[in-house]
């Protein structure tokens, strides 16, 4: 595995000598870990079933859950999916950004059947993270990329976390620092005239509904555990090795503590490790450090991670969705 560290504040990064090498690796069907604004992605050429098969093998995904294909522009996305008016409204309002649209797949799309798990719909996203967008435009191919973590484990928001999970499977890992959003994209399906929220994420329900001018149907915040709507939304997901206890009201000696806000829980001083997602109670800041926090607290070796209550509004819906999955009974 080779590592390419990109400084996005330097305008010359697109002409770095690593660019042709990374494009060649992708064109030859190899895996490259690429940062996006949400989480790091385990990317491969979405038009190659051999390349996509390597994604499933590297992650150890138990079944072929469909993958999100990343594109540089809405125009490129229109080659692969049929966008109705609602889909166009959302794409125009939130792309590039942390939103994935599931739309009917065009018969002429070059995205392989393995990437869509044989479905007649396709998940498309134009990310705000410039590296994924740039590489998809350079290779002239949609890039399939699930989160770059072992299946069922916590997603990754830093290159070091990716290397720890997947290093040997990668040709390249591109390090552009920590992801700014920190939770995965929101997934909305626009099929059969209805707009359905399949997964809460980086774009909030309120802002989607404001653009659509109507409520989203489907998965409510609490129902999503029992009724997975996206095939890959297994209830036990994002699982650290430690048990996760939600809405903790106190901390037992030796437990780890994931706190939120300015008011410490009773017994917080007993925790063997603590991470405060945002001492000011800011949900954007909390989302950005969620997965790093879970990985750090898990590394403390504590048997249980206690989680302080986090409000359900705005990005809190996505944060609590991930925490409920982390706490769900394991297979
Ligand atoms: O932020 C993100 O979305 C990240 C970055 C890398 O872009 N990617 C990501 O991918 O989270 P992944 O594979 O971890 O989650 C993709 C989800 C899965 O739950 C999958 O079942 C769902 O998208 N999905 C993909 N295609 C679908 C389809 N045609 N219909 C319904 N759900 C679909
Ligand atoms: Mg994932």
Instruction: Indicate whether 236 pLDDT > 80.
Output: no
Go through 28-67 and write b for each residue having 16 or more CB atoms within 10 A of its CB, e for each that does not.
ebbbbbbbbbbbbbbbbbbbbeebbebbbebbebeebbbb
Instruction: Indicate whether 63 pLDDT > 80.
Output: no
Mean local confidence (pLDDT), 184-210: 96
Q: How far is the CA of 183 from the centre of ligand 1 (A)?
A: 12
pLDDT of residue 230: 58
**329: CB partners within 8 A, 6+ apart:** 235, 236
- Residue in 46, 62, 67, 239 to alter for ligand 1 test, most ligand atoms within 8 A of Cβ: 67
Question: What's the pLDDT tens digit per position in 106-124?
Answer: 999 999 988 998 889 999 9
Mean local confidence (pLDDT), 87-94: 98
pLDDT of residue 225: 42
Instruction: Indicate whether 224 pLDDT > 50.
Output: no
pLDDT of residue 319: 93
Q: Which residue reads 């494009």 in tokens?
A: 23
- 276 pLDDT band, cuts 50/70/90, is very high
pLDDT of residue 117: 83
**Tokens at residue 131, please?**
């590296």
- 189 pLDDT band, cuts 50/70/90, is very high
Question: What's the pLDDT tens digit per position in 144-166?
Answer: 999 999 988 999 999 999 999 99
Instruction: Indicate whether 239 pLDDT > 70.
Output: yes
DSSP states along 216-273: PBS--TTGGGTS--STT--SS-S--SSEEETT-SS--TT-EEEE-SSSPPTTGGG-SE
Q: What is the pTM of this model?
A: 0.88
- 238 pLDDT band, cuts 50/70/90, is confident
Whether 184 lines ligand 1, by a CB cut-off of 6 Å, is yes
- Residue in 122, 135, 230, 325 to alter for ligand 1 test, most ligand atoms within 8 A of Cβ: 230
Ligand showing the shortest atom-to-Cα distance for residue 80: 1
Distance CA 290, CA 201 (A): 12
**Tokens at residue 30, please?**
């190899």
* Residue of minimum CA distance from atom 24 in ligand 1: 66
Instruction: Indicate whether 307 pLDDT > 70.
Output: yes
Mean pLDDT of the chain: 92
Distance CA 158, CA 187 (A): 22
* Residue of minimum CA distance from atom 20 in ligand 1: 232
- Residue in 70, 146, 203 to alter for ligand 1 test, most ligand atoms within 8 A of Cβ: 146
Whether 65 lines ligand 1, by a CB cut-off of 6 Å, is yes
Ligand showing the shortest atom-to-Cα distance for residue 149: 2
Instruction: Indicate whether 260 pLDDT > 80.
Output: yes
Backbone angles phi, psi at 76, to 5 degrees: -65, -40
* Residue of minimum CA distance from atom 12 in ligand 1: 146
Mean local confidence (pLDDT), 265-289: 93
Pick from 200, 154, 151: which is nearest to 320 by CA? 200
Instruction: Indicate whether 233 pLDDT > 70.
Output: no
* Residue of minimum CA distance from atom 33 in ligand 1: 230
Tell me which of 234 and 193 has the higher pLDDT: 193
Question: What's the pLDDT tens digit per position in 131-147?
Answer: 999 999 999 999 999 99
* Residue of minimum CA distance from atom 22 in ligand 1: 230
Largest Cα span, the chain: 60
Ligand showing the shortest atom-to-Cα distance for residue 232: 1
Instruction: Indicate whether 186 pLDDT > 90.
Output: yes
Share of the chain above pLDDT 70, in %: 93
pLDDT of residue 228: 41
- 216 pLDDT band, cuts 50/70/90, is very high
């Amino acid at each position: 595995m080779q590592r390419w560290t990109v400084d996005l504040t330097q305008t010359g990064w697109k002409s770095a000598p690593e660019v042709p090498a990374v494009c060649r690796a992708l064109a030859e069907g190899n895996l490259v870990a690429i940062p996006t604004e949400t989480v790091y992605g385990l990317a491969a050429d979405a038009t190659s079933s051999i390349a996509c098969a390597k994604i499933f093998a590297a992650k150890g995904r138990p079944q072929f859950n469909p993958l999100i294909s990343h594109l540089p522009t809405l125009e490129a996305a229109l080659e692969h999916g049929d966008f109705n008016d609602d889909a166009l409204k959302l794409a125009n309002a939130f792309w590039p950004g942390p939103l994935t649209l599931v739309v009917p797949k065009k018969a002429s799309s070059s995205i392989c059947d393995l990437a869509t798990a044989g479905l007649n719909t396709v998940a498309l996203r134009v990310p705000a993270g410039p590296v994924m967008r740039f590489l998809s435009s350079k290779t002239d191919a949609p890039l399939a990329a699930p989160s770059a973590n072992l299946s069922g484990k916590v997603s990754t928001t830093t290159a070091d976390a990716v290397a720890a999970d997947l290093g040997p499977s990668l040709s390249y890992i591109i390090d552009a620092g920590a992801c700014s959003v920190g939770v995965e994209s929101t997934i909305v399906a626009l099929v059969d005239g209805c707009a359905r929220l399949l997964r809460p994420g980086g774009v909030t329900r309120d802002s989607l509904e404001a653009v659509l001018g109507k409520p989203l149907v489907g998965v409510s915040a609490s129902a999503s555990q029992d009724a997975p709507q996206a095939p890959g939304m297994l209830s036990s997901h994002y699982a650290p090795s430690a048990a996760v206890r939600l809405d903790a009201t106190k901390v037992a000696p030796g437990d780890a503590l994931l706190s939120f806000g300015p008011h410490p829980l009773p017994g917080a001083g007993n925790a063997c490790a603590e991470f405060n997602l945002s001492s000011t109670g800011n949900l954007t800041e909390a989302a950005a450090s969620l997965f790093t926090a879970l990985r750090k607290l898990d590394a403390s070796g504590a048997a249980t991670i206690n989680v302080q209550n986090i409000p359900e509004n705005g990005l809190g819906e996505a944060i609590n969705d991930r925490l409920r999955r982390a706490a769900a009974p394991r297979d």
